[in-house]
Amino acid sequence: MITDGNLLTPNLPDVVEEIRVLFERYEQALVDKDVEVLDATFWRSPYTVRYAMGEHGYGFDEIHAHRVARPPGPGIKEKRRRLEILTLGRDFATVNLEFRVRGKTLIGRQSQTWVRFTDEGWKVVSAHVSTTGGDYLW
């Protein structure tokens, strides 16, 4: 239990900037298919999860296998609509991106949960990518 509210101060500017830089590096690595950078972004753990289109990556090894199989190129992101970064304290962050899907009338959504590890630095521990056409199931 965290008892000192200062430990979870939201959006300290220097921490937000650290995450922004890492996120942009990751996004460029997706375009370049720089597997080394993509792998370095994620926590090398069997507990790491990444859901994406046609992908259910449970653990770092499965996530890496999908990365190797993915073709290079700009991917599905045509235009960003909204980027939200939330940091809580100096060691926890979420990134949420809403984007227009290339060549479609769909909206894409991407979320990442970041944790700063003492010995490894910032790593994504959970990620999700999905699309919506605006129709609601409930």
Selection from 80, 74, 79, 85 nearest residue 30 by Cα: 74
Selection from 41, 63, 60, 39 nearest residue 51 by Cα: 63
Give residue-wise pLDDT tens across range 76-122: 899 999 999 999 999 999 999 999 999 999 999 999 999 999 999 99
pTM for this prediction: 0.91
User: In the chain, where are the structural domains located?
Assistant: 7-132
Give residue-wise pLDDT tens across range 43-62: 999 999 999 988 899 999 99
**Domain 7-132, CATH number (from 3.30.470.10, 3.30.110.30, 3.10.450.50, 1.10.1740.10):** 3.10.450.50
